[in-house]
Amino acid sequence: MTPTRRKALSFATFALAYLVIVPLVLSGSPYMLGVLSMSAALSVIAMGVWVTFTIGRINLGQAAFALVGGFTAAILTTRFELSFWIALPAAGLVSALVGVVLGLGILRLRGVYFAMITLSLSETMRLALLNGGDFTGGATGITSIPVPGELSLFGLVIIPDFAGSHSHLAFYFLSAFLLLASVVLVWRLMDSRLGRVFASLQQGQELSQSLGINITKYRLIAFGVSCFLAGIGGAFFAATQQSIYPGSFVASDSISFTLYCFLGGLAYVGGPVVGAFLLTLSFQFLHDLQQYQQLAYALIMIGIMMWLPNGLLSLRWPSWGRKTTSPASGETGNVQ
């Protein structure tokens, strides 16, 4: 079997399990479904950070774009009374647009400068929304966002109203769909010519430029995709929580998104997903430790960094495994 087919097969198996078995087992536990939905949304946002990594930039501003997406969806659904199904893609697009405009300036920065400026961006966006007056609701944010309504096409109901008795399950399926779609999107992206161009930007942008590649354009594309994913995740967050505040995503969340990518493994499309699920779930399971919860969480994080600095997926799996070879150099250019 070729690696691509094996990957497709393992992805299909995972998708089937995630869409059928997990909801069957957990249908009686809204709490667990909620945790999984949140993990999936965080994975989508973290995947955006991962895309920025492929062009050799450390993006610590993802919280800013998740906020843009969340607020766009919230404003569209409450102020303009648009359907969530229009607001969701709109949130992604607005976020991507904001990203491209900002990216025109900041993508020139490299290394730690880019990391630091994007981290400041997380904080800037929070403050901008805080000072947004009536439009963004200031510190009180936007509350009582309606749950996604019915989506029908030519009189045919495609997605039922979320307000029914199984709204947890509905949100779970929505999150699962967003997660799987993002994985496919990013995976296809990396497999295409675009992915190779991104890798060339990471490995040496002067050389790519000398080969006639318009590096500004490709950097903006990568950053736009990254912000789009953040916007989608943020919009989902706003819909599940039915509220959004300037403090919903802050600078430390930005750092967490980057951590998810590192913990999962930067060389793998699935890295951010594994990282996000692992850390979100372990934080929930550590709840019983009460005041030691955060300490234990920090220790787990440091432990993985110490013993698996190239990510969890860099563990070699036995022959049936998904990842049989480890990347030669650990560059994200060698996408597995």
Partner 1 sequence: MEQALVNGLVLGMNYGLIALGLTMIFSLMNVLNFAHGQMYVLGGFVTYFALNTLGVPYIVAVLLAVLALAAVGLLFEYALFRPVRKRSNREESTMLLAAGTALLLESLILLFFGEKQRGVPPVASGVFEIGGAFIPASRVLVFFVALAAIILFMMFMRYTRPGRALRAIAQDREVTALQGVNIQAYSALGFMIGAGLAGLAGALLITVLSVNSGMGTSISIKAFIMVMLGGAGVIPGAIIGAFVLGFAEAFGYAFIPSSMTYLLIFVGLIIFLIIRPQGVMGKPWG
Interacting residues with partner 1 (CB under 8 A): 58, 102, 105-106, 108-113, 115-117, 119-121, 123-124, 127-128, 130-131, 250-252, 255, 258-259, 262, 266, 291-292, 294-295, 297-299, 301-302, 305-306, 309-310, 327, 329-331
Rounded-to-integer distance, Cα 5 and Cα 186, Å:
17
How close are the terminal C-alpha atoms of the chain, in Å?
15
Rounded-to-integer distance, Cα 304 and Cα 260, Å:
11
Rounded-to-integer distance, Cα 315 and Cα 201, Å:
27
Please report how close the Cβ of residue 14 comes to partner 1 at its closest, in angstroms. Answer: 26
Which of 222, 266 has the CB closer to partner 1? 266
Which of 210, 329 has the CB closer to partner 1? 329
Amino acid identity for residue 99 in this structure: G
Q: Using alpha carbons only, how large is the chain's radius of gyration in Å?
A: 20
Q: Is the dihedral of CA 305, 270, 274, 70 positive or negative?
A: positive
Please report how close the Cβ of residue 250 comes to partner 1 at its closest, in angstroms. Answer: 8
Please report how close the Cβ of residue 234 comes to partner 1 at its closest, in angstroms. Answer: 20
Which of 151, 308 has the CB closer to partner 1? 308
Residue 191 and residue 41 in contact, taking contact as beta carbons nearer than 8 Å: no
Please report how close the Cβ of residue 285 comes to partner 1 at its closest, in angstroms. Answer: 17
Rounded-to-integer distance, Cα 30 and Cα 25, Å:
11
Which of 164, 309 has the CB closer to partner 1? 309
Residue 31 and residue 197 in contact, taking contact as beta carbons nearer than 8 Å: no
Which of 75, 251 has the CB closer to partner 1? 251
Q: Which of 319, 301, 317 is nearest to 309 (CA)?
A: 301
Which of 55, 235 has the CB closer to partner 1? 55
Please report how close the Cβ of residue 258 comes to partner 1 at its closest, in angstroms. Answer: 6
Helices 251-264 and 30-54 meet at what angle, rounded to 10?
Answer: 80
DSSP tag of 158: E
Please report how close the Cβ of residue 241 comes to partner 1 at its closest, in angstroms. Answer: 22
